[in-house]
Structure 1
Amino acid sequence: MDGATLLSFDGKAPLVDPAAFVAPGARLIGDVAVGPGSSIWYNCVLRGDVNRIRIGARSNVQDGSVIHVESPHPGAEAGHATIIGDEVLIGHLAMIHGCRLHDRAFVGLGAIVMNDCEIEGDAMLAAGAMLTSGRRVPSGQLWAGRPAKYVRDLTLADIESMRAGVAHYAELAERHVAALNRRGAPSAD
């Protein structure tokens, strides 16, 4: 985690499992917890300042993604935390905000998931899609577009590819840790 920023906010500090990888340049702020084998890649921002962010085991948040939460307010007294399950794939430059990604959910490159949304396990939000507030992507479905809509059912090959992506990123994170340890991590900005 050398080169990453872990910042306490309102008395809450990020908790990162020792078996997780947080890349240099990543920023974790406030009430954020990252589970074992998960990876937070270069230049991601996870800001749990007004609610909590939870990431399970073997999930990955790819480069440049932003994860945030929503404050409590009338009509949503608890606000919206961001809860990310196990073995979730989040593509580069995704925006994840106050939502739930169940175990084995997939969010494509540059996609947006807004408040009070859910993506079930073995479901996929396509690259560039925007899932508007309160929507739910059921298990086994692909949604795409802005706003996102149902496109088709996922094939077994699609689901196997998502699972292979989880394994790939877990192995790649180990290689990055080894490379950083060999070369010495860059200094923080």
Structure 2
Amino acid sequence: MSATIIPVRGFTPRIGEGTFVAPNASIIGDVVIGRDCSIWFNTVIRGDVNSIRIADRVNIQDGTVLHTLYQKSTIEIGEDVSIGHNVTLHGCHIRPFALIGMGAVVMDDAVVGEGALVAAGSVVLSRTQIGPNELWGGAPAKFIKMVDPDQARELNIKIARNYLMYSRWYTDPDNATDPQ
């Protein structure tokens, strides 16, 4: 069993070196994924109507859906970002070192700043601007507090590295190690 990779409208997804794509993930159309990422089970990255760009060392966890608006919104995800299980990202921009909690929704033209955290189950409405190192939560999501930039960055790098390690368990099972 292998991932579903589908060209659409003349765009074929491009996947960077060292990136793990789970066997039942779907990657479609105008999608570019960087190096050392992990795209987990039942994830759908649907670049059929507009572009999706994912930088290096991003983990997109199980059941997540990425999509855009035709000729209106794109998705851009910076490096070392963690996207939790069952997240919906629709036409938004996620800056480096951010974390999107499980089950969150981030809508069109929203921006999640560098090192920011979106709490699990939150709904970030269209055109919301979340600043660097801010914690937002709720439905609709609201500002909760500032987070220490060094702690947020350290946490998000640790999560991103752990997911890279987990992905290696699938691609190189003879060298599997436990998280530390």
Bin of the TM-score, shorter chain as denominator length:
over 0.9
Relative CO higher for 1 or 2, CA cutoff 8 Å, sep ≥ 6?
Answer: 1
Q: Secondary structure at the match of 2:172?
A: helix
Offset at residue 178 of structure 1 (A): 1.8
State the one-letter code of the partner of 2:95. Answer: H
Distance of 1:134 and 1:120 partners within structure 2: 13
Distance of 1:29 and 1:102 partners within structure 2: 22
Distance of 1:121 and 1:157 partners within structure 2: 13
Distance of 1:11 and 1:163 partners within structure 2: 35
- Give ranges in structure 1 of 5+ residues lacking alignment: 73-78, 181-189
Q: Secondary structure at the match of 1:167?
A: helix
Distance of 1:161 and 1:81 partners within structure 2: 27
The answer on whether the counterparts of 2:115 and 2:152 sit within 8 Å (CA) in structure 1 is no
Aligned residues: 173
- The two structures, once aligned, show a CA RMSD in angstroms of 1.3
Give the alignment of 1:113-124 within 5 angstroms: 113-124=106-117
State the one-letter code of the partner of 1:95. Answer: T
Q: Alpha-carbon deviations, 1:21-56, whole Å to 9, x = none?
A: 111100001001110001110110000011000100
- Give ranges in structure 2 of 5+ residues lacking alignment: 175-180
Aligned partner of 1:69 in structure 2 is 68
1:128 is the counterpart of 2:92: no
The answer on whether the counterparts of 2:40 and 2:62 sit within 8 Å (CA) in structure 1 is yes
Equivalent residue for 1:148, pick from 137, 141, 149: 141
1:139 is the counterpart of 2:138: no
Offset at residue 160 of structure 1 (A): 2.1
Aligned partner of 1:99 in structure 2 is 92
Give the alignment of 1:174-185 within 5 angstroms: 174-179=168-173
Q: Secondary structure at the match of 1:104?
A: coil
Distance of 2:77 and 2:2 partners within structure 1: 24
Distance of 2:167 and 2:128 partners within structure 1: 32
Equivalent residue for 1:163, pick from 157, 160, 169: 157
Q: Percent identity?
A: 36
Offset at residue 158 of structure 1 (A): 4.0
Aligned partner of 2:9 in structure 1 is 10
The answer on whether the counterparts of 2:97 and 2:153 sit within 8 Å (CA) in structure 1 is no
TM-score, reference length from structure 1: 0.88
Q: Alpha-carbon deviations, 1:99-144, whole Å to 9, x = none?
A: 1001111100000000000001110111000000000111111000
Q: Alpha-carbon deviations, 1:35-89, whole Å to 9, x = none?
A: 00011101100000110001000001000000001112xxxxxx10101111110
Aligned partner of 1:59 in structure 2 is 58
The answer on whether the counterparts of 2:80 and 2:156 sit within 8 Å (CA) in structure 1 is no
Q: Secondary structure at the match of 1:115?
A: coil
